[in-house]
Amino acid sequence: MKRKILFVLCLLAGLVFIIFGLNKFFNYMPPPKDMPDKMVKAGEAFAAIGWLMPLVGAMEVLGGLLLIIPRTRALGAVILVPILTGILLADISMAPSALPIVFVLVAILLWAIIENRARYLPMIQK
């Protein structure tokens, strides 16, 4: 039962990352009207760096796809940790109203990492 719950949660989290990652390429979701000015300026600065948003979007899509597949979930979590860390820090400093959603994604990713901890051991063993 626990594995099924984790699969459903990883499926939903993976789809979130895929949808928002693809948005960085196709811009099909307009930014919210009530977005703080600091976040708008930060977004414009990131967009001015031509390669940054496509790179982040590609990693979100790749990480989301890998998170959905149980066999590759550990790799997907490794790819998504730095992205989710950036999202968390940006929301803490600029848009605290979005934190509940980010905390849910952090919890799902942490659960996936804990469940796959044996796969990470070869990376840190001598």
Kindly report, residue by residue over 66-121, the tens digit of the pLDDT. 999 999 999 999 999 999 999 999 999 998 988 999 999 999 999 999 999 999 98
**Prediction pTM value:** 0.92
| Cα(40)–Cα(38) distance, integer angstroms | 5
| Cα(103)–Cα(112) distance, integer angstroms | 14
Domain total in the chain: 1
| Cα(8)–Cα(108) distance, integer angstroms | 10
Residue 125 placed within a domain? no
Q: What is the pLDDT of residues 2-56, one digit of tens each?
A: 999 999 999 999 999 999 999 999 999 988 888 888 988 998 899 899 999 999 9
Residue 107 placed within a domain? yes
Domain that holds residue 67: 2-118
pLDDT at 33: 86
- The DSSP code sequence of 10-70 is HHHHHHHHHHHHHHHHH--SPPPTT--HHHHHHHHHHHHSTTHHHHHHHHHHHHHHHHHSG
Residue 76 placed within a domain? yes
Residue 126 placed within a domain? no
Q: Which residues have CB under 8 Å from 112's CB, separation 6+? A: 6, 10, 67, 73, 74, 76, 77
